[in-house]
Structure 1
Amino acid sequence: MGEMLRVSDLNVFYGSIHAIKDISFHVDEGEIVTLIGANGAGKTTTMHAISGLLKPKSGTIDFLGNRISQMEAHKIIRLGLAQVPEGRRVFSHLTVQENLSMGAFTRKDGASAIAQDLEMVFDRLPRLKERRKQQAGTLSGGEQQMLAIGRALMCKPKMLLLDEPSMGLSPLLVKEIFKIIEDVNKDGVTVLLVEQNAKMALEIADRAYVLETGTVKMEGPADELANNIEVRKAYLGC
């Protein structure tokens, strides 16, 4: 398995605030890698830099051999890197099916291939199929999260960036969402996951990076970090 994403010496500023300081990490093809850390650690900022929503001050981001650090977001999506944003951001006045179709807007492989993938998403997420004609704004939080994942899958991504998918969901729904993430990964989609629920994230990830105030504080196999005393005290509450 080759390297899919490499972030090297990344520096990102919000105005005069130095939010990301010389961060370096990589994600290999087929992995689930998670970034964990407290609020304000720089996790979402890192995701936005990778997906092209924020331009880094310095450092490089490479995806499948392409330098994407200064690339526009829609071009990054076309390369096969899709983000499921924090807070889900579904189009509330559009139906479930219309939201999913929006996910395919960068594709050039024809209506029949897109229709086929729509059915694949409905097979994977049957609750969305039941609600395909329902307005997205009327869905529950968990269903909106499923819709946001389904919409990203309609881009046919090679890699999925997931930003806080468990936010605001009940423990039962969190389990369901994490099972979906695992299934998507088993189908060959590489995953970079930002998650406050460090326990769940470390359970499904292959490797993890701990971010603190814009720097990588620790890294390693997810099961090792889950048993690390510092990590347990700071993020797992034990």
Structure 2
Amino acid sequence: MSRILEVQELNVYYGMIHALKGISFHVEKGEIVTLIGANGAGKTTTLQTVTGLIPARSGRVFYNEKEITRVPGHELVKRGLAHVPEGRRVFATLSVYQNLMLGAFTRSDRAEVEESLRMVYRHFPRLQERRNQIAGTLSGGEQQMLAMGRALMSKPEMIVLDEPSMGLSPIYVKEIFEIIRKIHESGVTVLLVEQNANKALAVADRAYVLETGRIRLEGNASALLADPKVRAAYLSE
């Protein structure tokens, strides 16, 4: 495997608050890697910095061996790095179909866009059923599916998912994680931030545990899932 993402000594501040304190980690092509930790540990900040939404004070980010530390988010989409943000952020007044097509805004290959749309509908049959429905009227689980489908419309090589199960019913949580598995099996590398550490570690290859802006533990996801200290701290749910 070759390395698709490498983060080196990343430091991020919000004003005087030192949010990320020199974190380093990597993702190999074809992996699912998860970042777990308590609220405020720096997980979302890490994803937003990697995908160009927040500037780093120092440190470097590499994607496919090219530095992207200062590359804006829309340019990263063109390079194959898609971000599904926390809270879904669908365009509430547009239809499901319009939301999906906005995900393909960087692409000009019409026939391939149509093929991507068919692929998204295969992953998310409910979106095809509701393609003409206004996105703001969808349930929370359906909006999460739409946010993920919209990201897939950019034909990503790697997808970054921020809290995909947040606020969803147990049935939708199960469905979302099954879809993450299918997306991964289709050849997309996944970087996942997830409050539900049990689910995240069960689906991931490797994991990093963040605590107050630092990586405290890293390793094979199944080993961390079985680690008594990790279970006591993060897996009590």
TM-score range normalised by the length of the shorter chain: over 0.9
Shift of 1:48: 0.3
What residue in structure 2 maps to residue 102 of structure 1?
Answer: 102
1:145, 1:157 → 2: CA distance?
Answer: 17
1:187, 1:148 → 2: CA distance?
Answer: 18
- Count of residues paired in the alignment: 237
What residue in structure 1 maps to residue 164 of structure 2?
Answer: 165
What residue in structure 1 maps to residue 10 of structure 2?
Answer: 10
2:13, 2:107 → 1: CA distance?
Answer: 32
1:202, 1:25 → 2: CA distance?
Answer: 17
What residue in structure 2 maps to residue 82 of structure 1?
Answer: 82
Alignment of 1:64-213 (within 5 A): 64-108=64-108, 110-213=109-212
1:102, 1:140 → 2: CA distance?
Answer: 20
| DSSP 3-state at the match of 2:232 | helix
Shift of 1:145: 0.3
1:2, 1:107 → 2: CA distance?
Answer: 26
2:65, 2:228 → 1: CA distance?
Answer: 37
What residue in structure 2 maps to residue 228 of structure 1?
Answer: 227
Which ranges of structure 2 fall in alignment gaps of 5 or more residues?
none
Residue identity opposite 2:55 in structure 1: K
1:213, 1:106 → 2: CA distance?
Answer: 36
- Give TM-score, length-normalised by structure 2: 0.99
Shift of 1:65: 1.4
Deviations, residues 100-127 of structure 1 (Å, cap 9, x unaligned):
000000113x222111211111111100
Deviations, residues 126-163 of structure 1 (Å, cap 9, x unaligned):
00000000000000000000000000000000000000
Percent identity of equivalent pairs: 59
Which ranges of structure 1 fall in alignment gaps of 5 or more residues?
none
1:172, 1:88 → 2: CA distance?
Answer: 18
Deviates more, 1:65-74 or 1:140-149: 65-74
1:200, 1:124 → 2: CA distance?
Answer: 19
Shift of 1:94: 0.3
Q: What value does the CA root-mean-square deviation take over the aligned residues?
A: 0.8
| DSSP 3-state at the match of 1:142 | helix
4+ aligned runs moved over 3 Å, structure 1: none
Shift of 1:198: 0.1
2:193, 2:44 → 1: CA distance?
Answer: 7
